[in-house]
Chain A
């Protein structure tokens, strides 16, 4: 990593749903995913 890059970036992180509400209401059923796409141009 270039040493200057840390000075160029500010990071903000949020958690829209509190953990206790997740534990209470979120199902552990996994989210569906699309099939992988090929990487052909």
Chain B
């Protein structure tokens, strides 16, 4: 019987406009945190969004999965993505940044960003897509 892999723990899961990585230090700079986005019309394409995660207590090669779905899962996911991260030691904090482009939201509402690892659910956060009332006004 295969032994179930222990997934990492989420210390932070942040949605932002942009995350810059400084080449000299390797540090991430999170710019423009957000929990929602405004849209002038639907379907709405969000051209750029970034997700920052800080994880600890992972072990070895771990399959990570990021999903962006509507809260009721009535429609196809806006995004589903998988990647593998290697956790060298359980005490190690690993920072991971997902740069997302051209996310298509079919209608306004409550969407959920979900993070999974090693086949297990880790964390979910809300992301609201809100119609702009006066899209012509700055």
A residues bordering B, Cβ < 8 Å?
A: 1-2, 5-6, 8-17, 19, 22-23, 26-28, 30-31, 33
21 cross-chain CB contacts under 8 A: A1-B80, A5-B80, A9-B79, A9-B98, A10-B98, A10-B99, A11-B97, A11-B98, A11-B99, A12-B97, A12-B99, A13-B85, A13-B94, A13-B96, A13-B97, A14-B21, A14-B27, A15-B94, A16-B26, A16-B95, A31-B57
Interface range on chain B (Cβ under 8 Å from partner)? 20 to 34
Specify the chain A residue showing the minimal Cβ separation from B21: A12
CB contacts under 8 Å to A, within B68-117, are 76-77, 79-83, 85, 88-89, 91-103
